A and B are shown apart, each in its own frame.
Chain A
Amino acid sequence: MAFWIELLISGLVAGLVIGLSALSITLVFGIARFPNAATGDTMTVGAYGALLGHRATNSLLVGGLTGAIAGAIVGFLGYWFIFRKLAQRSNVALLVASIGLAFVLRAILGVSFGHSQQVFQLPLVRPWRIGDVPVHPNDLVLAGACATILAIVFAILHLTPIGRRMRAVADDPALARVSGISPSSVMTVLWLLAGAVSASAGIVAGIKTVVSPEMGWDLLLPAFAAAIVGGIGSPVGAVVAGLLIGVVQEMATPLVGFTYKIALSFLLMLVVLLVRPRGLFGKLEGAR
């Protein structure tokens, strides 16, 4: 039993990173209507930002905020200089532009920080034992941080006027426009938020693993899978699907081994799309 609980915890922790990055993808997809391939590299920007902030102040909180702000700025700049100009183009053009932005970000990070790995210098602590199950105190901190971030994002979406406008644009951009909602303010907030959320995912991944210019790009595929499984455009769906993918991957390892666990997230995606094409929490798109 302890064996399975331990796997479950591993899965939840891995799933948090996937869920946060999927949340950023799904926010952009819901409102700006294209798959943002620069999400992975915005994560990396966040991780480096947090690394610098943490080194300068020795406070993980300040580091995390620095990283989130760096991610928000990158998200906004990407919108202002690239995606805003391409807003009227097909979403393939936007997707390709976002891949280009991803390369540019990675190259800038590589030139500025080098390609060797960097780590957050945090004290290593031995685990607590609850029964037979080791619990890492650091994981609890990270899980708490993730929960806080999610609470903030959902509060913005559901409790503020700008959040209501964002949801209106997501539902029907044309109707939102004729109701007098300015797309540019919605978009600005969206990109700041999406950038900060991807950056948070990158920071958590960076703390758990190592920081290198390629790290975000490497985590992008499961994040896309989670966004699709959860239902494109559904924030709750993205987070739930991220956790689900993490848990399924880890719990399945005694059966399928470690090499094929990655394939499982895509198997899960296939099954969900076959049985429920709109994803777990997705809405049916009406024909226009």
Chain B
Amino acid sequence: MTIDRRIILQAGASALALGLAPQGAFAQAEAYRIGALNPVTGAGSPYGSGMAEMIFAAVDEVNAAGGAAGRRLQVFADDTQTNPQSAVLAAKKLIEVNKVNAILGTWSSGVSLAVIPLVNDANILLMHTSGAPALSTPPANAKGYGYRFQATNDRFGRAFAEIAVKEGYKRPVTMAFNNASGIGNTQGFKKAWEAKGNKVLAEVVYEPNQPSYRAELQKVLAARPDVIVMGSFLPDTTIILREAFQSGANVKWIIPGWAANPQLIRALGNEATEGVISVDSVANEQSASFARYDAAYRKGQSQPGASNVYAAMTYDMVITLALAIEAAGPGAGTAQINAKIREVANPAGDKVFSFAEGKTALAAGKKINYEGASSVLDFDEFGDVTPDFGVFFITKGQLERRYVVKI
């Protein structure tokens, strides 16, 4: 955990330095303040410190290229603890004390749904990595200041349906954790699956923190399914898979990647996880922007960038935001910057793969289309993107990517 403290200290130190020392070229324009609000501890901790670090890396990249519209970017980091209450406190501090202009990198729908009203009230931007469909529309996204760099749970569900077809499953059932994200996954699956003229044989919505999920399992297994499609998280998935194995069920699983991850394999061992299909959005791995991100991630975390798709998302958040600031010109407020985000990220402009490249093109009066490290990053009218989905099979305790699904 030393890295997390270091990051927080770095933020504090850079804030201090900015206050004390003249900043040369940046001296006149006020810095653009970014709140890095990441899940450094809690359920998101496998991703959070990498996410925070990539915000710093991308900010360094932007500042090294002369900043955006003459403004230096400055980061204030905090931890959501993957907990809505703590996230709200941290967001309040970022907004009221640090006076940030945007909050980047919230993870988990409960957290983003809790933070977005504060962001709306403060008239600043929120860029997040959460899946709940409710984050797309009013009231959560009434002002259009929320941007989602992850697929919605609904799209995850659509990907699940594609996979079920491809794998030849005929008798699916669903189990969903009772929150916006869990139900979003299974409803998305059901919609897409029934649109193909199929039927879902049984559906269960379960409560968190139960001492046992046997009755829930008993209900779906009574339908004699060939696959159980989950909208779940790590702890409940651990318990449900263990109980399913111990009740002798012989069934396949399609589970979102944040639940069917290496921690799940460590908890249950190879036998109980064999053949589980884990689905997660995959980074835009062929792009030049991914190569830049990957190099930064390897330097900071000594791991390949593809191991943390959420860090690729936070990296893209900074670059996209900086390009929009650049396009909006000096002295732009949130509304003007917000109006430029789709302009710099969506097609029809020239494809660009880094901030410096985009800045040069903008200076030459061209239209640009930033292609991100996490996805091609084209925002629809709700501020949502459509990444591709990697389909991983757990084989002998390893997550093995077999193919990619596009929806």
List residues of chain A with CB under 8 Å of any chain B CB.
3, 6-7, 9-11, 13-14, 17-18, 114-117, 119, 121, 124-127, 129, 134, 136, 138, 205, 208-210, 212, 214-215, 218-219, 250, 253-254, 257-259, 261-262
Partner of B212 from the list A14, A127, A262 (CB cut-off 8 Å) is: A14
In chain B, positions 220-271 with a C-beta closer than 8 Å to chain A are: 222, 234-235, 238-239, 242, 245-248, 263, 267-269, 271
In chain B, positions 126-173 with a C-beta closer than 8 Å to chain A are: none
Which of chain A's residues have a CB closer than 8 A to the CB of B82?
115
Which of chain A's residues have a CB closer than 8 A to the CB of B308?
none
| A–B pairs, 23, beta carbons within 8 Å | A13-B211, A13-B214, A18-B211, A114-B41, A115-B41, A115-B82, A116-B43, A116-B46, A117-B234, A117-B235, A117-B263, A119-B238, A124-B245, A124-B269, A126-B245, A205-B211, A208-B211, A208-B239, A218-B208, A253-B215, A258-B204, A258-B205, A261-B207
Which of chain B's residues have a CB closer than 8 A to the CB of A219?
209, 211
Cα distance, A212 to B42, chains bound together (Å): 10
CB distance from B342 to the nearest CB of A (A): 37
Partner of A258 from the list B216, B222, B272 (CB cut-off 8 Å) is: B216
Which of chain B's residues have a CB closer than 8 A to the CB of A7?
215, 218
B210 touches A (CB below 8 Å)? yes
Which of chain A's residues have a CB closer than 8 A to the CB of B42?
115-116
Cα distance, A66 to B212, chains bound together (Å): 24
Which of chain A's residues have a CB closer than 8 A to the CB of B204?
258
Given the interface pairs A6-B218, A117-B267, A253-B219, the reply to whether A208 lies near B212 with Cβ below 8 Å is yes
Q: Are B207 and A119 in contact (CB under 8 A)?
A: no
Q: Are B246 and A136 in contact (CB under 8 A)?
A: yes
Q: Are B271 and A124 in contact (CB under 8 A)?
A: yes
Cα distance, A6 to B267, chains bound together (Å): 26
CB distance from B218 to the nearest CB of A (A): 6
Partner of B248 from the list A14, A126, A209, A262 (CB cut-off 8 Å) is: A126
Q: Are B267 and A10 in contact (CB under 8 A)?
A: no
B120 touches A (CB below 8 Å)? no
Which of chain B's residues have a CB closer than 8 A to the CB of A250?
214-215
Partner of B215 from the list A10, A18, A262 (CB cut-off 8 Å) is: A10
Which of chain B's residues have a CB closer than 8 A to the CB of A212?
235
Cα distance, A205 to B41, chains bound together (Å): 23
Given the interface pairs A114-B45, A115-B43, A134-B247, the reply to whether A258 lies near B234 with Cβ below 8 Å is no
Which of chain A's residues have a CB closer than 8 A to the CB of B205?
257-259
Q: Bits for B68-100, please: 1 = Cβ < 8 Å to A, else 0.
A: 000000000000011000000000000000000
Residue in A closest to B246 when the chains form the complex, CB atoms: A136
B123 touches A (CB below 8 Å)? no
